[in-house]
């Protein structure tokens, strides 16, 4: 009986932890009401793209990747995302101006082609990665301010980068080899 109660508590704990990110993002954008474009690869489950547009936040692009537990990244996920974004948008230069790490979030401000500003929010956990391209920068600023009320986005009023980006690391994995099944070696 004790084992059953222990098992239920563990399941509830991990479910609550996995829902925290969605609830946190849903404070700003209700993902459940957005149309999801599911992406597919042998290493991913329940991965998708979302394109959101609102008056408050402008255009937002989201790629959510849920890796199977038998798979692993073959490098740094955010670097893979940056490279694919740069390639698909034919960007000549993409330089980080600001990087802020808070809990499981990484906030990046980029200078695109020495002229335009772009914000990227990267959320990560054990087997999930979410990339949020914030063209307007308002969502980016609002989430950081929920951690640090004194934060000032000094790039918010600069000329912003805009694109119709619609690519996916999951759909491009066969070409890019971003993640793969873990190889198990036996001692025999």
Burial of 43 (0-12, 13-18, 19+ CB in 10 A): buried
pTM assigned to the model = 0.83
Contacts with 115 (C-beta within 8 Å, 6 or more apart), sequence order: 159
- The mean pLDDT of 50-69, rounded to a whole number, is 92
Rg from Cα positions in the chain: 18
The answer to which of 40-54, 88-102, 130-144 has the lowest mean pLDDT is: 40-54
Kindly indicate the confidence band of residue 4, based on its pLDDT and cuts at 50, 70 and 90. very low
Distance CA 45, CA 97 (A): 33
Q: What is the pLDDT of residue 187?
A: 59
Q: CA 36, 177, 72 angle in degrees (round to 5)?
A: 80
Q: Determine contact, residues 89/82, Cβ cutoff 8 Å.
A: no
pLDDT of 115 over the 80 cut: yes
| pLDDT, tens digit (0-9, with 9 covering 90-100), for 36-55 | 899 999 999 899 999 988 88
């Amino acid at each position: 009986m004790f084992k059953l109660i222990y098992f239920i508590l563990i399941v509830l704990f991990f479910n609550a932890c996995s829902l925290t990110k969605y609830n946190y993002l849903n404070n700003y954008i209700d993902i459940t009401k957005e149309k999801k474009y599911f992406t597919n690869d042998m290493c991913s489950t329940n991965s998708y793209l979302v394109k959101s547009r609102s008056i408050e936040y402008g255009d937002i692009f989201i790629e959510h990747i849920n890796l199977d537990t038998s798979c692993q990244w073959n490098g740094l996920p955010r670097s893979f995302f940056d490279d694919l974004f740069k390639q698909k948008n034919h960007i000549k230069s993409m330089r980080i101006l600001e990087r802020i790490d808070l809990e499981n979030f990484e906030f990046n401000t980029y200078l695109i082609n020495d002229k335009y500003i772009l914000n990227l929010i990267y959320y990560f956990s054990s087997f999930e990665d979410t990339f949020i391209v914030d063209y307007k920068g308002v969502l980016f600023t609002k989430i950081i301010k929920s951690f640090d009320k004194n934060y000032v986005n000094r790039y918010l009023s600069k000329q912003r980068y805009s694109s119709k980006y619609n690519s996916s690391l999951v759909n491009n994995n066969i070409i890019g080899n971003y993640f793969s099944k873990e190889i198990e070696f036996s001692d025999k």
